[in-house]
Structure 1
Amino acid sequence: MRFWIVLFSSLMLTSGAMAQAKPTPQPGVAQPSARQMHLSRRYVELTQSDQMEQAIRGLIVGEANADPSMREMPAEDRAFMVDLATELTVDLMPQMMERLVPVYARTFSEEELTALVAFFDTDLGRSIAEKSIASTPEANAAMMSVMPQLFEKMAARVCARFGCDPAEMRAMMEGEANGATRPLNEKPGN
């Protein structure tokens, strides 16, 4: 389960969302202009890469290696799952990217979209987009490396409030992150 959750959240890193400027939502803009849609589509096109499949495979392999249920699979089955997830994700990327167009068109002003397109339409912009995509698996691993600290701090604070054992809480949280579940009516530490 963790494998799929992290995979899909990680795809957002490769989705053209690597703009350096923080987006400025347009309050009350329910329907972006045709120009915003055009610029948004161009931005999405410019931030894609021929390295996308390689980056996606790297993310999927990394998550398969980190997921205990995937590690326990026979190598042949794990390879099948990695190949299948990569193939299906790559096949669906055009649809995912197309669905980002109206999101970016609503989020960024026409001026911001014009600046993004102007930047990513340069050699430097394309280089940054390529490197952003290529570094996604490593960036994902770096972000995931702090999860044990998050679990530890969260367990301590939750148990300070609810009177449970932080070690048990952390084990439960790590289990859930790796796909294990507990009954909905079970409280922490029970």
Structure 2
Amino acid sequence: MRFMIVCMAAAVAGSALGVAPARAAEVPQTAPPAPSARQLELTRRYIDLTMTDQFEESLRGILLAQAEVDPETRALPPEDRTFLAELAAELTTDMIPQMLDEMTPVYARAFTEAELEAMIEFYDSEMGRSIIRKTMRALPEATQAAMSVVPQMLEKMASRLCQHYGCTPAELEQLKREMRGEASFAPAPK
């Protein structure tokens, strides 16, 4: 379960890059509900600048590292663990172009042309490129740090589920074990 959460978190993490206030003095207007062709064009440029090849490498590193610490995948034989991690990394990486295509109109609706131009101006500068490079290098470690709180979240979720549904103490402990991946299923040995 944690491994799949990490797959999704890692794929989305790159889209959470901060926007520098290149034109902070200008007060942006609200973007229209339907993006213009210009907004879509600018958004594609913004995505091209911020979603670099380093993103795919960072994503791959995140997924491979998570497979080594995830209780469910750790229970698998090493060759199966490697296969699943490589498969998840490959399939996630293969989906990045489609993900970015789907994200384009979302960002185009969220930002005005002036805001998109400011972001492009910033990320196309030496400072912007440096920030992107450093963000991509830090992404695997930052994701690991963020994922370190997932066990606490799962513990709280189990407790709240049992409060809501009236679990016995034994059922609560079983649910917690399952959520931690201690009762995971692994393919039968070959």
- Cα offset for 1:169? 4.2
Structure 1 pair 60/161, CA: closer, same or farther in 2 (3 Å)? Answer: closer
Q: Structure 1-normalised TM-score?
A: 0.76
- Number of aligned residue pairs: give it: 178
1:92 counterpart residue number: 95
1:5 is the counterpart of 2:5: yes
1:48-67 → structure 2 map (5 Å cutoff): 48-67=51-70
- Cα offset for 1:179? 8.9
Unaligned stretches of 5+ in structure 1?
A: 182-190
1:109 is the counterpart of 2:112: yes
1:19 counterpart residue number: 18
1:27-82: CA deviation from partner (whole Å, max 9, x where unpaired): 7x331011111111100000022222321121111221232221121111211222
1:1-190 → structure 2 map (5 Å cutoff): 1-15=1-15, 17-20=16-19, 26=30, 29-151=32-154, 169=172, 172-173=175-176, 175-176=178-179, 178=181
8 A contact 1:25–1:107 mirrored in 2: no
Paired amino acid for 2:18: A
Deviates most, 96-105 or 164-173: 164-173
8 A contact 1:40–1:113 mirrored in 2: yes
8 A contact 1:60–1:82 mirrored in 2: yes
After superposition, the CA RMSD in angstroms is 3.2
Unaligned stretches of 5+ in structure 2?
A: 22-27, 185-190
Q: 4+ residue stretches of structure 1 with deviation over 6 A?
A: 155-168
- Cα offset for 1:146? 2.3
Give the percent of matched residue pairs that are identical in Structure 1 and Structure 2.
45
- Cα offset for 1:100? 1.1
